[in-house]
Amino acid sequence: MSIRLAILVSGRGSNMESILRAIKDGELDAKVEIVLSNNPEALALVTARKYGVHAIAVDNKGLSREEHEKRVLAELANYDIDLVVLAGYMRILTSNFLQQFKHKEGYFKVINIHPSLLPAFPGANAYEDAFKYGVLVSGITVHLADEKVDHGPILAQETFSRLESDTLESFKARGLAVEHKLYPKVLQSIAKNGIRLLPNEELIKQ
Ligand code: GAR
């Protein structure tokens, strides 16, 4: 089944582009209905438009979290969306936002990619944090979102090694290459088989 996506971004948009490219190349059976950024300057908006996708900014500057989310939800309400895809969206989502996308089985139809092996190193600087900590193996996590930051049922993880010769930049670049393959792959698996969760009573709300 083709899945209808809304992609939320804040900056560069390289993960968003990996999704758009996979769709264009016929590797992902999905349609991106809208790309939305809280940052009007996001390069992601320019890139999305190059792919012919409707891309808008809902600036969060000067707005309370609730008011900003209200405006974001009003935009998303114009579309029939199967899944909200967070791709470098550096905003914490409120419970009210997530509730709008609640599946009957209790989880939220909001997916996120995070550049560490969660639950290690949540937050905005995961590559830096893992590198500085001195991990020998790191990885990428794709998970469903919940009210906590970089938290929720895990759908996929893929590891990569830290090499002795790595700088932070080379470490990040290797991780990002993993992200760009993993996110479209997980989305295609959802398009084909739906969302399949491993049992985890702590994370999956009923
Ligand atoms: C990516 O590395 C993504 O995993 C990370 O932000 C970057 C966005 O890059 N997300 C998080 O850290 C979420 N906590 P992109 O805009 O080029 O996709």
Can you tell me the distance from the alpha carbon of 130 to that of 125, in angstroms, rounded to the nearest whole number? 9
Binding site membership of 152 for ligand 1 (Cβ less than 6 Å): no
Tokens (6 digits) for 195: 């969302």
Q: What is the pLDDT of residue 7?
A: 99
How many other CB atoms sit within 10 Å of the CB of residue 85? 26
At residue 80, what is the residue type? D
Low-confidence ranges of the chain (pLDDT < 70): 201-206
Q: What is the pLDDT of residue 145?
A: 97
pTM exceeds 0.85, yes or no: yes
3-193 topology per CATH: Rossmann fold (3.40.50)
Binding site membership of 92 for ligand 1 (Cβ less than 6 Å): no
List helix spans (H) across 55-107.
65-76, 95-99
Q: Provide the pairing of β-strand 154-161 with 137-144.
A: antiparallel
Which of ligand 1's atoms lies nearest the C-alpha of 149?
14
Q: What is the pLDDT of residue 85?
A: 99
Yes or no: say if 178 and 151 are a contact pair by the CB < 8 Å rule. Answer: no
Q: What is the pLDDT of residue 203?
A: 57
Q: What is the pLDDT of residue 205?
A: 52
CA atoms within 13 A on the CB side of 161: 3
**DSSP secondary-structure letter at 92?**
P
